[in-house]
Amino acid sequence: MMNQIKRVAIVGGTHGNEFTGAYLIKKFEQFPNLIERSSIETLTLLANPKAFELKRRYIDKDLNRCFLHQDLENPALLGYEEQRAKAIAQQLGPKGNAQVDAIIDLHSTTANMGLSILLGSLHPASLRLAAYLSSINPRVKVCSLMSPNSESAHLRSLCGLGMVIEVGPVAQGVLNPILFQETENIIHGVLDYFEACNQGTALQLPSTLTLYKYVEEIDYPRNAHGELEAMIHPQLQFRDYEPLHPGDPIYLTFDGRAIAYEGKETVYPVFINEAAYYEKGIAMCLTQKQQIAL
Amino acid sequence: MMNQIKRVAIVGGTHGNEFTGAYLIKKFEQFPNLIERSSIETLTLLANPKAFELKRRYIDKDLNRCFLHQDLENPALLGYEEQRAKAIAQQLGPKGNAQVDAIIDLHSTTANMGLSILLGSLHPASLRLAAYLSSINPRVKVCSLMSPNSESAHLRSLCGLGMVIEVGPVAQGVLNPILFQETENIIHGVLDYFEACNQGTALQLPSTLTLYKYVEEIDYPRNAHGELEAMIHPQLQFRDYEPLHPGDPIYLTFDGRAIAYEGKETVYPVFINEAAYYEKGIAMCLTQKQQIAL
pLDDT in tens, B215-225: 999 999 999 99
Residue B1: the pLDDT is 45
B246 contact partners, CB below 8 Å, separation of at least 6: B260, B261, B262, B263, B264, B265, B266
pLDDT reading at B43 higher than 90: yes
Residue A150: the pLDDT is 86
Distance CA B125, CA B198 (A): 13
Q: Is B24 on the interface with A (CB under 8 A)?
A: no
pLDDT reading at B228 higher than 90: yes
Distance CA A232, CA B12 (A): 20
The pTM is what? Answer: 0.96
How does the average pLDDT of chain B come out, rounded? 96
Chain B interface mutation, best of A19, A28, A231, A250, highest count of B Cβ atoms under 10 Å: A231
Distance CA A88, CA B61 (A): 34
Chain B interface mutation, best of A28, A227, A254, highest count of B Cβ atoms under 10 Å: A254
Each residue's pLDDT expressed in tens, for chain A with a length of 294 residues: 467 999 999 999 999 999 999 999 999 999 999 999 999 999 999 999 999 999 999 999 999 999 999 999 999 999 999 999 999 999 999 998 999 999 999 999 999 999 999 999 999 999 999 999 999 999 999 999 987 778 999 999 999 999 999 999 999 999 999 999 999 999 999 999 999 999 999 888 999 999 999 999 999 999 999 999 999 999 999 999 999 999 999 999 999 999 999 999 999 999 999 999 999 999 999 999 999 998
Residue A7: the pLDDT is 97
* H/E segment holding residue A153: none
Distance in Å, alpha carbon of B157 to nearest chain A alpha carbon = 28
Minimum CA–CA partner of B254 in chain A: A27
Q: Is B108 on the interface with A (CB under 8 A)?
A: no
Contact between B293 and B207 (Cβ < 8 Å): yes
Contact yes or no for A169 and B171 at CB 8 A:
yes
Q: Is B243 on the interface with A (CB under 8 A)?
A: no
Give the mean pLDDT of B19-28. 98
Residue A1: the pLDDT is 46
| Residues of chain A contacting B181 with CB distance shorter than 8 Å | 234
* H/E segment holding residue B132: helix B124-136
Q: Is A175 on the interface with B (CB under 8 A)?
A: yes
Minimum CA–CA partner of A28 in chain B: B254
Residue B234: the pLDDT is 98
Distance CA A127, CA A208 (A): 9
pLDDT reading at B149 higher than 90: no
